[in-house]
Amino acid sequence: MSVFLLKRFATFAATLLVASVLVFAVLDLLPGNVAQVILGDTATPESLAALEKKLGLDRPAMVRYTDWIGGLLQGRTAQSHSYDTPTAALIAERLQVTLPLAVMAMVLTVLIGISAGIFAAARQNKAGDVGVMGLSQLGIAVPSFWFAILLILLFAVKLQWVSAGGFPGWTEDDGGGLWEGLVALLLPAVALAVVQAAVLARWTRSSVLETLREDYVRTARAKGLSRRAVLWQHVLRNAMIPVLTILGLQFAFLISGTVVVEQVFVLPGIGRLVFQAIANRDLVVVRDVVLLLVAMVVIVNFVVDVLYAVIDPRLKTSDA
């Protein structure tokens, strides 16, 4: 493994470690007494003591932290006090909605954003370019959750093609199925993707235009390659490097967006779980969900770094 990747892996591991300490500090230490937060100001000392014992709050913070992380590494999680179920089981169940939604939204974002960006760059300053850039400027200004509401207004209220929300489940036993599940996630994924694609289209356009100005592109054109051939064979691979960075950063926004859009479409995903947990003062669930979401963002950015090395071999050797 190259020095570049080793350095990136060290950064990835350190970021996860610091994130876990911060999440623990904010949700376990900062509130003072978690049992008090859960039970409220009217709790009796006896009930407080009982809950503290049940949650293991009578142990030192360091022991609680190592227990938490050690447990996570062994696939063991704390018990949610409101569901009386291990948080891993709760999260695993909700991820069956959130993960496919995030992946569908990401795929749509890449498809729409990159193709719109290339389309605009290939027609710089012409009507197509101005149209795409105008639409993307508008897209950036539209909150994804409002776009989701507009989609419901059009497809559920006006046209009545789909239901206004809810999720039928992935199996026939749940009353749904693969097709029904995908259909239920399509509008939420479109709502998320359109806004993110607007951002990606602008970056793709400017990156492609910048690469088009490089000397080797002029050389390729001088050798007689058509503009289209140069674009597909030489420009896109190089132009995609900065676009990958943006994709990595966009994933963080996509995860946030997923949490919000799940609320709009009443989808039983991670977002609904965490908001129910906040309402129930179930800090253990909030802690594990937040760490999971941060971990997802960090992992995706690590994968982006690895992809860099694949796309641009100079990175692998530059640090070696």
Partner 1 sequence: MSAVMVGSAPQHHFAARALRHPSFAIGAALSLLLLVAAVLSLVWSPYPPADIDIPSKLQGPSAAHWFGTDSLGRDIASQLLVGAQASILVGVFAVLIGFSIGAALGLLASARGGWVEEGVMRLSDFTFAFPALLSAIMLGAIYGPGLLTGIVAIGIFNVPVFARVTRGAANAIWAREYVLAARAAGKNRWQITWHHVVPNIASALIVQATNQFATAIIAEAALSYLGLGTQPPMPSWGRMLNEAQTQMFQAPMLAVYPGMAIVLAVLGLNLMGDGLRDLLDPKLARKR
Residues engaged in binding partner 1 (CB under 8 A): 11, 14-15, 18-19, 23, 26-27, 30-31, 37, 137-138, 140-143, 145-146, 149-150, 152-153, 157-158, 164, 249, 252-253, 255-256, 259-260, 263-264, 274-275, 277-278, 281, 283, 286, 289-290, 293-294, 297-298, 301
Write down the least CB distance from residue 161 to partner 1, Å.
15
Pick the closer one to partner 1 by CB: 116 or 291: 291
**How far apart are CB 146 and partner 1 at their closest, in Å?**
4
Query: Based on CB atoms, which residue is closest to partner 1, 195 or 235?
Result: 195
Choice between 21 and 178, CB closer to partner 1: 21
Whole-number minimum distance, CB 208 to partner 1, in Å? 19
* Min dist. Cβ of residue 18 to partner 1 (A): 6
Rounded least distance, CB 80 to partner 1, Å: 13
Residue 95 or 149 having the CB closest to partner 1: 149
Give the tokens for residue 74: 């062994």
Is 176 or 271 the residue whose CB approaches partner 1 more closely?
271
CB nearer to partner 1: give 113 or 176: 113
Q: Is 193 exposed, middle or buried (0-12, 13-18, 19+ CB in 10 A)?
A: buried
CB of 232 to partner 1, least distance (A): 29
Q: How far is the CB of 196 from partner 1 (least distance, A)?
A: 13
For partner 1, the closer CB: 132 or 230: 132
